[in-house]
């Protein structure tokens, strides 16, 4: 069927008309019709036009709905850009090439829908949707992350079939306000369905359920035929408890002559005795059923809601949930999937949230648009505080658009539609006006709408808050900066000027090997009244699964082509530029706390410990003091086990009896063991697990591993000399198990933070990535050898001394390196050596088992054992990885138990991987790495913290490597 050149929908050119946000679209509401609908998902006829007004007529292929065409075999591929728009045209204009997807299918309308009101729902389409039925124009919608509904009654005939066409235009005026930092796609991203109601129907239901147990339910009633029939009424119940009609409301409505023939309003209520209130720790939900009756009592329409009783308010500078100042342990979450791009299933979302719960998160910001509706159901059920964010980001043209009256309607439309959809979710505690769109009158207009419609929740908007964290005149009730230096946050809280809760909307940027100082942030948050938490940026590494051979996205068939964060051979995680984009922002799209397949990165474990609900507060003579750090829950849902780990390898365990503690309380419990008099350093860990099944974890799931040191390390005696050491003519240690002798290392494969923070550039300019060693002196003192080497950096010479002394079964190596003052802030100072192949298991005593760095190191100290190949974290762009902080001693062994043992003079940063730093730094993707057969071992006297400088503050000065003299020593023995 060719397009009618006079088709009014295209004739309007709505893709370049910001004033047009919709046409023929039904108002948004909170009545969920998904469960009684006719799903239209599946394969549709599809063709991609070069421009929206090109004639339809080419050959049809097929496309899966929901799905973006950019992941389904077309030549229009994903493109990643952060801030810059992918085209040069100014708002509201669009580029001359504007891919437009035409989706078509037949729809058989059930015969028993005769006489009913028939509605089409398109879950989400980006960025403009045009709807036709049998060639007739039905409507237009923008707002790419919310559903659009159209009344098809009279356009389709029950008992027969119609042709439904959904035309999706990729670029529009709306693209300029959907300029979020993510992949650009085009297509239908959420389910399409059809449903039918009685002409007399519930147009909306608004629920207010307070902490006190007071429930109020407001219904809006309409009739598709126009005037409402006489005698309609509503009824409702809450898990069997009948609601009562608010007759006073009816009387006032009547008295004020507000009663209309076309809009019915009714209010019901209840007071729930001994209400089980909702919070993120104990997310108690009730089932609310609302019925709309005809005068004869028959039910015309029904609506079901899962609701929670809770209060949200700001008192002074505190955000309170049910009167408690809760910490917001949040993450920013996009709707993302490595195979579909944007479409996420209920199971996907459930897996996201379950994982977050298991790692101690309690809050989500729906960055940067209303997420899939299922997300909110799951947040209600599993327990998350949600900042619900409207789909507005005009980053590249922020200033022009914020005050542009042509976009006013779009701002109000997007914010109000989000509120109308999500207002009944207890999980939603804050509305966000959007992201990175400057601040203008359009924002105030949207905020004004929300304040009137939903006075029960605060509003936040970073763009407004940044004009003044305490400014009462801006449209943000929360001081919600992004990436604010911690010292600024603390200073604000201490200034006496603070008037609003300070909750960072984004902090601790998780790009690559990152999230340094997260624990320092939380130490400050928990000790500074006025600071209440924040949302880590971000949940996902948005790597798209790509076939290396043809550079195409794999798409929906790719399940099973990845495991443990790594794509199968022949595949990789694509980031910006990998689809041949001319403009792109590279690996900046890979900045999540999980890999594209949801495998948690080490920072997740760090977070789990930081968020520990039970903590060891102190170790005193009378015992261990435990504290409950939750806001609402006791400890009865948890089990504990003590584990005492001694440096000499002994581990003692005992069951732990957890005291009955209310939130905020502490209690002393007796030390579970008599501490052995020998064994050296001793650490006591309380292994906390779920006692019973939780909605998000089976019984026995680790919740946290709080720890306390019971005894410091004892200084070991100087060892007797025995045997000989051998060095070659270059002063390099000769050892049968080493493939490369210990040399000085001052460099690491730059992390994303090192690159984007400018450190990597400096290190390369100094020549630290390719230092050349020159032996300047060698001295023998009996069986002891001293080697002095020099490494010439661009800004000075580094002197490195190694003293080799034979000891029982091996060699002791005392080293020092003197860095000139100009070498301030290098990556590391330490030794690097390589082993022969075959030593594939690492065992160590120190924090673990997960990866740790000086500024990301809450891992508990103990004895750990991990295959060498699993020590490495496959960050999407290869970089420094696999470090273990605070290692006291370690061994690398082959299955036949041969190998090496290394004892360190004090806890040191150690890494054992298959890669030299230059192996990692010279490739762009993990699949290009060729593992070496032996181990590359780094022992660092000092290692720079990770920080978050790819976007936000660098690490703290205390985690930098200072110039001057560094000393370290270690003993190497054959096993
Ligand atoms: C923020 C922005 C996010 C993302 C992040 C950097 O400025 O809100 O969308 O771009 O920076 O990854
Ligand atoms: Mg942005």
- pLDDT of residue 434 exceeding 80, the answer is yes
- Domain assignment present for residue 730? The answer is no
Q: Which residues pair with 801 in a beta bridge?
A: 788, 816
* Nearest protein CA to atom 6 of ligand 1, as residue: 951
Ligand 1 center to 483 CA (angstroms): 9
pLDDT digits (tens, 9 = 90+) for 837-880: 999 999 999 999 999 999 999 999 999 999 999 999 999 999 99
In angstroms, the CA 905 to CA 399 distance is: 57
pLDDT digits (tens, 9 = 90+) for 759-772: 999 999 999 999 99
Whether residue 217 sits in one domain with residue 176: no
Residue partners of 636: CB distance under 8 A and separation at least 6 = 660, 691
- Domain assignment present for residue 275? The answer is yes
Whether residue 218 sits in one domain with residue 182: no
In angstroms, the CA 610 to CA 618 distance is: 16
- pLDDT of residue 254 exceeding 90, the answer is no
Ligand 2 center to 175 CA (angstroms): 13
Quickly state the pLDDT bin for 5 (edges 50, 70, 90). low
Whether residue 803 sits in one domain with residue 686: no
Percent of the chain with pLDDT over 90: 94
Report the predicted TM-score, pTM, of the whole model to 2 decimal places. Answer: 0.97
Whether residue 347 sits in one domain with residue 300: no
- Domain assignment present for residue 441? The answer is yes
Put the strands of the sheet holding 42-49 in their side by side order: 22-23, 136-141, 128-133, 161-169, 100-108, 42-49, 61-65
List, in sequence order, every beta strand (DSSP E) within 414-470: 428-432, 459-460
Q: Read off the CATH number of the domain in which 788 is found.
A: 2.70.98.10
Quickly state the pLDDT bin for 896 (edges 50, 70, 90). very high
Kindly report the average pLDDT of the chain as a whole number.
Answer: 96
pLDDT at residue 1, as a whole number: 40
| Substitution candidate for ligand 1 out of 506, 510, 590, 593 with most atoms within 8 A of CB | 506
pLDDT at residue 620, as a whole number: 84
Choosing from 581, 605, 629, the residue where a domain stops is 605
Ligand 2 center to 178 CA (angstroms): 9
Quickly state the pLDDT bin for 661 (edges 50, 70, 90). very high
Choosing from 131, 163, 197, the residue where a domain stops is 197
Whether residue 765 sits in one domain with residue 661: no
Q: Read off the CATH number of the domain in which 94 is found.
A: 2.60.120.260
Ligand 1 within 6 A of CB of 951: yes
- Residue 649: domain span: 613-705
pLDDT at residue 255, as a whole number: 86
- Domain assignment present for residue 725? The answer is no
- Domain assignment present for residue 696? The answer is yes
- Domain assignment present for residue 162? The answer is yes
- pLDDT of residue 635 exceeding 90, the answer is yes
Ligand 1 within 6 A of CB of 82: yes
What letter does residue 610 receive in the DSSP assignment?
H
Whether residue 256 sits in one domain with residue 141: no
Q: Read off the CATH number of the domain in which 627 is found.
A: 2.60.40.10
Query: Which atom of ligand 1 has the smallest separation from the CA of 435?
Result: 8
Whether residue 346 sits in one domain with residue 283: no
Q: Of residues 9 and 954, which shows the higher confidence score?
A: 954
Residue partners of 347: CB distance under 8 A and separation at least 6 = none
In angstroms, the CA 205 to CA 35 distance is: 17
Query: Which atom of ligand 1 has the smallest separation from the CA of 368?
Result: 9
In angstroms, the CA 402 to CA 394 distance is: 8
pLDDT at residue 208, as a whole number: 98
What letter does residue 675 receive in the DSSP assignment?
P
User: Taking the chain, what is the end-to-end CA distance rounded to the nearest angstrom?
Assistant: 78
- Domain assignment present for residue 513? The answer is yes
Residues 236-241: what's their mean pLDDT? 97
pLDDT at residue 21, as a whole number: 98
Quickly state the pLDDT bin for 2 (edges 50, 70, 90). very low
Ligand 1 center to 532 CA (angstroms): 21
Helix (H) / strand (E) containing 652: strand 651-656
- pLDDT of residue 718 exceeding 80, the answer is no
Ligand 1 within 6 A of CB of 126: no
Q: Which residues pair with 6 in a beta bridge?
A: none
| Substitution candidate for ligand 1 out of 181, 757, 950 with most atoms within 8 A of CB | 181
Number of domains within the chain? 5
- Write down the H helix ranges in 495-541: 518-527
Ligand 1 center to 181 CA (angstroms): 6
247's tokens: 């007759």
Ligand 1 within 6 A of CB of 81: no
pLDDT digits (tens, 9 = 90+) for 17-55: 999 999 999 999 999 998 889 999 999 999 999 999 999
Residues 545-564: what's their mean pLDDT? 96
797's tokens: 């010479």
- b/e map of 863-887 (b: 16 or more CB within 10 Å)? bbebebeebbbbbbbbbbbbbbbbb
Ligand 1 within 6 A of CB of 482: yes
Residue partners of 88: CB distance under 8 A and separation at least 6 = 95
Ligand 2 center to 37 CA (angstroms): 36
In angstroms, the CA 212 to CA 428 distance is: 18
Q: Which residues pair with 626 in a beta bridge?
A: 616, 667
Choosing from 686, 705, 724, the residue where a domain stops is 705
Helix (H) / strand (E) containing 107: strand 100-108
Q: What is the rounded radius of gyration, in angstroms, for the C-alpha atoms of the chain?
A: 31
pLDDT at residue 18, as a whole number: 98
Ligand 1 within 6 A of CB of 389: no
Whether residue 288 sits in one domain with residue 184: no
Which residues are placed with Cβ below 5 angstroms of ligand 2, an ion?
Answer: 181, 395, 436
- pLDDT of residue 583 exceeding 70, the answer is yes
Helix (H) / strand (E) containing 139: strand 136-141
Q: Read off the CATH number of the domain in which 374 is found.
A: 3.20.20.80
pLDDT at residue 838, as a whole number: 97
Whether residue 193 sits in one domain with residue 105: yes
Ligand 1 within 6 A of CB of 703: no
- Domain assignment present for residue 714? The answer is no
* Nearest protein CA to atom 9 of ligand 1, as residue: 181
pLDDT digits (tens, 9 = 90+) for 590-608: 999 999 999 999 999 999 9
Whether residue 291 sits in one domain with residue 319: no
CB of 27 within 8 A of CB of 420? yes
Whether residue 822 sits in one domain with residue 687: no
Ligand 1 within 6 A of CB of 181: yes
Ligand 1 within 6 A of CB of 398: no
Residues 789-800: what's their mean pLDDT? 96
Residue partners of 780: CB distance under 8 A and separation at least 6 = 786
Whether residue 278 sits in one domain with residue 368: no
Q: Which residues pair with 597 in a beta bridge?
A: none
| Residue given tokens 């300070």 in the structure block | 502
Query: Which atom of ligand 1 has the smallest separation from the CA of 505?
Result: 8
Residue partners of 194: CB distance under 8 A and separation at least 6 = 37, 38, 40, 107, 109, 118, 119, 120, 121, 152
How many angstroms separate the Cα of 812 from the Cα of each of 345, 724, 775, 779, 927?
57, 11, 20, 16, 38
| Substitution candidate for ligand 1 out of 184, 432, 436, 952 with most atoms within 8 A of CB | 436
């Amino acid at each position: 069927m060719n397009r009618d050149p006079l088709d009014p929908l295209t004739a309007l050119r709505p893709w370049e008309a910001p004033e047009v946000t919709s046409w023929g679209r039904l108002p948004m509401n909170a009545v969920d019709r998904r469960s009684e609908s006719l799903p239209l998902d599946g394969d549709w006829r599809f063709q991609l036009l070069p421009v929206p007004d090109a004639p339809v007529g080419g050959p049809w292929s097929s496309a899966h709905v929901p799905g973006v065409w950019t992941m389904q075999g077309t030549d229009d591929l994903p493109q990643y850009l952060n801030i810059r728009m992918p085209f040069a045209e100014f708002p509201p204009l669009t580029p001359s090439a504007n891919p437009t997807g035409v989706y078509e299918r037949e729809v058989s309308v059930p015969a028993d829908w005769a006489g009913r009101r028939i509605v089409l729902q398109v879950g989400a389409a980006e960025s403009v949707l045009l709807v036709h039925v049998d060639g007739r124009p039905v409507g237009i919608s923008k707002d790419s992350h919310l559903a659009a509904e159209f009344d098809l009654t009279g356009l389709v005939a029950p008992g027969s079939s119609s042709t439904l066409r959904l035309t999706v235009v990729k670029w529009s005026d709306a693209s300029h306000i959907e300029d979020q930092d993510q992949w650009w796609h085009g297509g239908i991203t959420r389910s399409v369905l059809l449903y039918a109601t009685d002409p007399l129907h519930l147009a909306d239901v608004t629920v207010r359920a307070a902490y006190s147990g007071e429930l109020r339910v407001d219904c809006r009633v309409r009739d598709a035929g126009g005037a409402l029939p006489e005698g309609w009424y509503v009824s409702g119940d809450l898990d069997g408890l009948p609601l009562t009609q608010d007759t006073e409301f009816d009387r006032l409505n009547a008295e004020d002559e507000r009663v209309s023939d076309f809009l019915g309003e009714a209010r019901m209520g209840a007071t729930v005795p001994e209400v089980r209130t909702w919070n993120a720790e104990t997310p108690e939900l009730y089932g609310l059923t609302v019925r709309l009756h005809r005068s004869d009592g028959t039910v015309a329409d029904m609506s079901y809601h899962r609701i929670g009783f809770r209060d949200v308010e700001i008192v002074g500078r505190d955000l309170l949930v049910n009167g408690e100042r809760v910490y917001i342990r949040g993450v920013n979450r996009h709707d993302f999937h490595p195979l579909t791009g944007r479409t996420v299933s209920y199971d996907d979302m459930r897996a996201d949230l379950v994982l977050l719960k298991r790692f101690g998160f309690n809050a989500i910001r729906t960055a940067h648009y209303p997420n899939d509706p299922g997300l909110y159901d799951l947040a209600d059920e599993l327990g998350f505080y949600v900042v619900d964010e409207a789909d507005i980001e005009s980053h590249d043209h922020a200033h022009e658009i914020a005050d542009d009256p042509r976009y006013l309607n779009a701002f109000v439309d997007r914010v109000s539609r989000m509120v109308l959809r999500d207002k009944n979710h207890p999980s939603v505690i804050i509305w966000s006006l959007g992201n990175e769109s400057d601040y203008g009158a359009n924002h105030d207009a949207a905020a004004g709408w929300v304040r009137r419609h939903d006075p029960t929740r605060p509003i936040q908007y970073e763009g407004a808050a940044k004009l003044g964290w305490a400014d009462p005149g801006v449209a943000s009730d929360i001081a919600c900066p992004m990436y604010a230096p911690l010292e600024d946050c603390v200073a604000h809280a201490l200034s006496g000027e603070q008037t609003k809760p300070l909750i960072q909307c984004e902090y601790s940027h998780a790009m690559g090997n990152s999230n340094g100082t997260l624990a320092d942030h939380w130490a400050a948050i928990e000790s500074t009244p006025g600071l209440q938490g924040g949302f880590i940026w971000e949940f996902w590494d948005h790597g798209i699964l790509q076939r290396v051979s043809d550079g195409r996205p794999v798409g929906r068939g790719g399940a099973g082509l990845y495991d443990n964060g790594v794509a199968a051979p022949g595949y990789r995680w694509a980031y910006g530029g990998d689809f041949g984009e001319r403009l792109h922002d590279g690996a900046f799209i890979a900045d999540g706390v999980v890999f594209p397949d949801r495998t948690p990165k080490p920072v997740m474990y760090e977070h789990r410990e930081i968020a520990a609900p039970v903590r060891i507060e102190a170790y005193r003579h009378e015992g261990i003091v435990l504290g409950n750090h939750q806001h609402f829950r006791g400890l009865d849902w948890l089990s504990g086990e003590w584990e005492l780990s001694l440096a000499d390898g002994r581990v003692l365990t005992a069951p732990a009896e957890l005291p009955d503690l209310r939130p905020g309380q502490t209690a002393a419990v007796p030390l579970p063991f008599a501490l052995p008099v020998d064994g050296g350093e001793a650490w006591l860990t309380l292994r906390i697990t779920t006692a019973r099944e939780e909605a998000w974890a089976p019984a026995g799931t680790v919740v946290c591993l709080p720890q306390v040191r019971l005894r410091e390390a004892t200084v070991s005696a100087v060892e007797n000399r025995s045997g000989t050491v051998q060095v070659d003519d270059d002063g390099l240690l000769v050892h049968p198990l080493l493939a490369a002798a210990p040399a000085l290392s001052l460099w690491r494969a730059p992390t994303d933070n090192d690159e984007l923070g400018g450190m990597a550039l400096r290190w390369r300019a100094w020549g630290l990535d390719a230092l050349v060693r020159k032996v300047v002196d060698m001295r023998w003192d009996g069986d002891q050898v001293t080697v002095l080497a020099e490494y010439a950096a661009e800004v000075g010479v580094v002197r490195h001394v190694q003293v080799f002394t034979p000891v029982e079964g091996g060699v002791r190596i005392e080293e020092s390196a003197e860095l000139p003052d100009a070498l301030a802030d290098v990556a590391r100072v330490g030794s690097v050596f390589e082993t022969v192949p075959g030593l594939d298991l690492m065992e160590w005593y120190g924090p673990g088992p997960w990866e740790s760095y000086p500024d990301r190191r809450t891992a508990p100290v103990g004895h750990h054992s991990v295959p060498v190949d699993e020590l490495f974290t496959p960050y999407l762009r290869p970089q420094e990885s696999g470090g273990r902080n605070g290692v006291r001693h370690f061994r690398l062994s082959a299955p036949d138990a041969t190998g090496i043992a290394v004892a360190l003079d004090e806890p040191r940063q150690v890494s054992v991987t298959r890669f030299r730093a230059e192996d990692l730094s010279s490739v762009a993707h993990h699949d290009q790495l060729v593992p070496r057969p032996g181990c590359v071992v780094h022992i660092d006297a000092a290692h720079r913290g990770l920080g978050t400088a790819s976007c936000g503050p660098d690490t703290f000065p205390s985690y930098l490597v200072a110039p001057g003299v560094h000393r370290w020593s270690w003993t190497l023995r054959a096993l």
